[in-house]
Structure 1
Amino acid sequence: MNALSDMDRERAVELVQQAYADGRLDPAELEQRLERALTATSSHELEPVVADLPDEAVVLSTTGGRVTRTGDWQVPRRLVIDSEYGRVRLDLSRAHVPHARIGIELRLGYGSATIILPAGASADIDGLRTGWGRVTCTAAGRPRPGELHVQVTGEMPYGRLTVRTARG
């Protein structure tokens, strides 16, 4: 039996709520799925709650190049960056972010990543595993009502991550 993390449960709740907002679920099904998601004790119990719901994850992969997103770009609800040797720069300060909460999963072998948030945004980096490297986050850590909150997860054995808000 695989124990659930709070992040797994939150992700399931977000998918169910988004499906309801998109008109895919009626109020009764919303209530039923939320109850099942919130009371699940294993991934086996949680899986059927979201199995038929779309997860708008966008995966960007490179072996040794750069991944850069700046300016006016559409930020998905979940973004996965997979890079063996490279640099990542995600500037959300002028991007279109239609979600109040987003997830960024970093799978970086060697390299560095910089995530720039809009003013007022917050970030939780507790789900990121690191080895030899440094993680710096100067953005607020707790979600603020009405502001973007970014959940950073993943693994960076040999790398550096900087998360900050945009400069004036």
Structure 2
Amino acid sequence: MNEADRDRAVELVQQAYAEGRLGATELELRLERALTATCVDDLRPVVADLPDETVRLWSVGGRLTRTGHWQVPRRLRVESEYGRVRLDLSRAHIPHRRVDIELRLTYGHATIIVPPGAGANTDGVHAAWGRVTCKIPARSRLGHLDVHITGNLPYGSLTVRASRM
């Protein structure tokens, strides 16, 4: 088991509490079980009944584009082997204060455009032969969107910038 598995379980439990699906006692119990888990099998019952709304976008050689008024999920996983990815969040409907985007780009380039005032943390992105360029602060202004980007780009690159609106 790696730390990402444990972190993911803790985050799901905390999100369920914030949404009112768990009480304080249940929160404490589940957090303790998640933090003391020694294998992935120990984590499964902690989050088994909690929804995970990860949306997966996938392409082998084409383009993945989301622009305009699209519904942004809480968690988005984008996989592209040779294509280009463009996610424009500037006019999208985002019902969350935080959005997690996981990128898996073998080759190619991803561009993520965030609304004014948003922050983007790219510390979790590993680019072996590519590059990561983030032109905005890692933290948002108070009350604005926070985008957390993680993933692996062996030969790909990522650019994160603010909207030009």
TM-score above 0.5? yes
- Distance in 1 (alpha carbons) for counterparts of 2:16 and 2:37: 22
Q: After superposition, where does 1:62-141 map in structure 2 within 5 Å? A: 62-141=59-138
Change (3 A) 1:3 1:107: closer
Q: Which has the higher strand share?
A: 1
Gaps of 5+ in 2: none
CA displacement, residues 104-132 of structure 1 (integer Å, 9 cap, x when unaligned) = 11111110000000111111111111121
Q: Secondary structure at the match of 2:136?
A: coil
Offset at 1:8? 4.7
Q: CA RMSD in A?
A: 2.1
Gaps of 5+ in 1: none
Taking only the aligned residue pairs, the percentage that are identical comes to: 63
- Distance in 1 (alpha carbons) for counterparts of 2:130 and 2:6: 26
More off after superposition, 149-158 vs 25-34: 25-34
- Distance in 2 (alpha carbons) for counterparts of 1:49 and 1:79: 22
Q: After superposition, where does 1:138-149 map in structure 2 within 5 Å? A: 138-149=135-146
- Distance in 1 (alpha carbons) for counterparts of 2:12 and 2:95: 14
Corresponding residue for residue 4 of structure 1? 3
Q: Secondary structure at the match of 2:28?
A: helix
Residue-pair matches, total: 164
Offset at 1:59? 0.4
- The TM-score, its normalising length taken from structure 2, stands at 0.87
Q: Is the 8 A contact 2:57 2:64 kept in 1?
A: yes
Q: Which runs of 4+ in 1 moved over 6 A?
A: none
